[in-house]
A and B are shown apart, each in its own frame.
Chain A
Amino acid sequence: MQVVRLERIEQASQNVTARSLGLVACTRCHLAWPKEVATCGRCGHKLQSRDRKSLQRVWAFWLLGLMCYIPANLFPMLQTRTLIYRQEDTIVGGAIELIEYGSVAVALVILFASVAIPIGKFLAIAFLAISVQRPSSVSKSQRQLLYEVVDYIGRWSMIDIFVVAILSSLVQLNVLVTINPGTASLFFAMSVIFTMISAHSFDSRMIWDAQEVDKESAKDE
């Protein structure tokens, strides 16, 4: 087995993939199996060379995330009720108000965390999902980097939800001041979760598969 593998590595020059060697790596315990093996003998996970439905999942969750992102921006994020007034702020509305009050930095943080990042994530995931099916001018390594960034940064979008959760749990002074999470907070959290799942569903190996497809097609031509 060792010999075979080494031989195959040598044969495959620089761009030898497990797949091209007829191997499938278990996505759970990373043990490689011949592609005929259906289940990982070590951990029992189902072996699959490429998740063909990965892109479908990406798009499905992406769509869900986007759907949730719309009410997340339309509905109020925070409900501030004091003795004499009641205020409901949407994410963007609150940020604009902060700018009007002069807290530009805070507003920028909010805009960055709650608007720029989620929208960037939507765009990035959509781009990645499209780029694996269509030829792309962006190099594979850049796309891989983009994917990693998206995957990493996704969880930070939850900072908004944390702020809302902390505020609403701390500021409960009965009639004087009460802060409650608005409807949007739920949708925003759902949106973040769904985009994270979406990003997670993306099989980054497809970025590199596409290259081979490109090459093969180039060869065919």
Chain B
Amino acid sequence: MNDAPPVDFEDRKASFFHNLSVVWVIPMLALVMALVVAWQTYSARGPIITIEFESGAGIAPRETELRFRDVTVGVVEDISFGEGLKSVIAKVRVDQEVAPYIDSGARFWTVTPEFSASGVTGLDTVFTGVFIEGSWDGEIGAARDSFQGLSTAPLYQPGEGGLQIALRSIPGGELSADTPILYRGIQIGRVGPARISPEGNFAIAEAVIYEPHGRLVTPTTRFWDTSGFSFSIGASGAELNFSSVASLVAGGITFDTFVSGGEPVGDGSVFEVFASEADARSSVFNASEVDLLEMRVVFDENVSGLAVGAPVEFKGLRIGSVDSVTGLVDPDLYGDSRVRLSVVVGLQPARLGLQGDVSPEAALAFLGDRVRDGLRARLASGNIFTGGLKVELLDVLDAPPAELIIEDGAFPTLPTTQSAVTDRSATVEGVFSRVNDLPIEELLQSAIDFVQSAGNLITSDEVRGAPQELSALIGDIRSMVSSDTVQEIPQTLNAALLRLDGILLQIEEEQAVARVLSAIDAAAEAAGTVGTSVAGVPQLVEELVSVAANAATVPLTEFTDQVTEILSSADALISAPATQDLPASLAGALDELNRTLAELREGGAVTNVNATLASTRDAADAIALSARDLPQLVDRITEVFDEASATIAGYNRGDVLSRDAQAALRDISAASEAITALVRMLERNPSALIRGR
């Protein structure tokens, strides 16, 4: 019956530590480890910084990270509202490692996905959620633990190289903010958000040119806007300008240094952004530009067409532009309630060519002197196409004396003179519309048609047959002269003479010798007349030559061809045997006449001669009369050819031509008919030739 051994108790009491199980080491170790870890974690905890944002867009406690160069360096621990609920304050636990670098130069902004015309940024935040991006330089500066968060990413990050400049819109111009800065099409910088100057007269934006391109910017560098596109119609034609599709959508600013040799500028320089490259270029040569001198001009007439930005010219040189145009009704000042045109112009003193002090005040004084000498402003037509007006300053001789009106609180007012505005636009428009309305195609077609008709006419059988008809006519005349009836004329004459014999005998003695002499004179005269009529033929040839000369001056080949055709036809006409025969026929006719006269001489008894001399003189008179008709005939033909020549010479005088040609042809035809009628009349009544009736 052994009890529980007392050894147990002795053992237990003997040594507490001896009885202590080794197992306790494990929890002790765990405890120590936990404590070490806890202490380490605690001691490794960075400080808390507070960042004040305008809005807590997507920032969540213990989730939103603070990143630096896309590496997480902290976590938002808490979000609360700022004083007066005006802002959101995020408390961020930053890593101890980077905490010292977060000094007063640090900047923070939230990164959210952004879709803009120039691209997509922050896409990773779609998956990870918004994060806060911080940026600071690599040097430890004055410690700071509360910051103002930015609403957008800053243009450049501390520690990054880049030329920081400011871009300013020109007065009255525009500035595209948040756009890339392009140089030769490559983005080398960026324009930040713009703000309006306190006076409201221009916009200004921070911009950065990334390294190493900052050296491209010198004091003579000019920036201009390449946003959108420009379309212009000028003397050189229509121009459509845009730099790239990207800048078309997103806008852009580019620059160039037109004058070499400038030193690179430092941070903080301010540049103006011009509307176009041309403006930028022209501004280079006005490097010494100073503030604008603003003046007012009140024009009596209220003419549309003067736009803001219209040039102000002084002796053809642009010295400024129109800043504003308003209507003005001031019955008190002008005594009537007409609407006047009040124009505020900005003049660039530097362009007036002043010596020495170039300032608005000096320019005002200069203009005041000039106004006393007769300088006046007037409206003038600027652009005949658009009807735009410009303001022109010019010296007006014997102008009524006037002074610059300088009042406090108002722009100095320039006196005006009669405007030189012609309604040129309307005139030009009218000219253009009339030119436009001209039936040029129809005209050309008519001309071609006419020449073809003329060619057809000349080459037509009727015209070709005209010489033959003339020849036949003369042949008819000859046959008529040589016909029996005419041949009988001597007999008839003889009989008549015999019948007259008795009468003649009565007066024979008194006047015989004188009458014979005058009869011979008349015959000679008749023969001379026939000679002159034959002499008319060379004249005809000359006329044809002049026709050819006229034809030679016709410029168009088509016409020339046609005219050549005409000429060849005319040549054929002239060289036609019938034409050649014309003088021969006339000669033949005269021979016949001669023979008749010879027969008269032979047939008539010598004794009768004296008695019939008086009658012969009458007959010779009649022959002379009929022979006088021949020069007329030749004249007629000459006229025809004159007209034909005039027709061809005046082919370009429009429709008159064809009418003239037709009239000429009608004349030729009428002439032929007249000759035919004459021949028929002579055939019917040959004695008319003798009797002259």
Contacts and interface: CB of A to CB of B under 8 A. Distances in A.
Contacts of A52: 8, 11-12, 19
B27 A64 contact: yes
Contact of A83 (B24, B27, B127): B127
A98 B34 CA distance: 31
Interface string A65-99: 00110000000000000011110000000000000
B514 interface: no
Contacts of B11: 52
Given A52-B19, A56-B21, A57-B21, A64 B26 contact: yes
Interface string B1-24: 010100010011000000111011
A16 to B, nearest CB: 11
Given A64-B26, A64-B30, A67-B30, A19 B4 contact: yes
Size category of the binding interface on chain A: 10 to 19
B126 interface: yes
Interface in A16-70: 19-20, 22, 52-53, 56-57, 60-61, 63-64, 67-68
A179 B20 CA distance: 44
Nearest to A60: B23
A57 B128 CA distance: 47
A57 B2 CA distance: 29
Contact of A84 (B2, B23, B24, B126): B126
A101 to B, nearest CB: 21
B31 interface: yes
Contacts of A64: 26-27, 30
B129 to A, nearest CB: 8
A84 B129 CA distance: 8
A61 B4 contact: no
Interface residues of B, number: 19
The interface centre, meaning the residue of A19, A52, A64 with most chain B CB atoms within 10 A of its CB, is: A64
A22 B23 contact: no
B27 A60 contact: yes
B68 to A, nearest CB: 21
Contact of B19 (A20, A53, A63, A201): A53
B23 A53 contact: yes
A83 B23 CA distance: 47
Contacts of A19: 4
Nearest to A51: B21
Contacts of B126: 84
A40 B129 CA distance: 67
A201 B22 CA distance: 13
A134 B34 CA distance: 32
A71 to B, nearest CB: 8
A25 B34 CA distance: 40
A187 B21 CA distance: 24
Interface in B116-142: 126-129
Given A22-B2, A67-B31, A60 B12 contact: no
Contact of A67 (B2, B24, B34): B34
B27 A63 contact: yes
A14 to B, nearest CB: 16
Contacts of B8: 52
B11 to A, nearest CB: 8
A181 to B, nearest CB: 19
A60 B127 contact: no
A84 B138 CA distance: 34
Nearest to B28: A60
Contacts of B129: 85
A61 B23 contact: yes
A19 B8 CA distance: 13
A73 B30 CA distance: 17
Nearest to B20: A56
A56 B31 CA distance: 16
Given A19-B4, A22-B2, A84-B127, A57 B23 contact: yes
A128 to B, nearest CB: 17
A35 to B, nearest CB: 8
Interface in B74-130: 126-129
> 6 tightest CB-CB pairs across the interface, nearest first?
A53-B21, A56-B21, A60-B23, A57-B23, A64-B27, A63-B27
Interface of B: 2, 4, 8, 11-12, 19-21, 23-24, 26-27, 30-31, 34, 126-129
30 contacts: A20-B2, A52-B8, A52-B11, A52-B12, A53-B19, A53-B21, A53-B23, A56-B19, A56-B21, A56-B23, A56-B24, A57-B21, A60-B21, A60-B23, A60-B26, A60-B27, A61-B23, A61-B26, A61-B27, A63-B27, A64-B26, A64-B27, A64-B30, A67-B30, A67-B31, A68-B30, A83-B127, A85-B129, A86-B128, A201-B23
Interface of A: 19-20, 22, 52-53, 56-57, 60-61, 63-64, 67-68, 83-86, 201
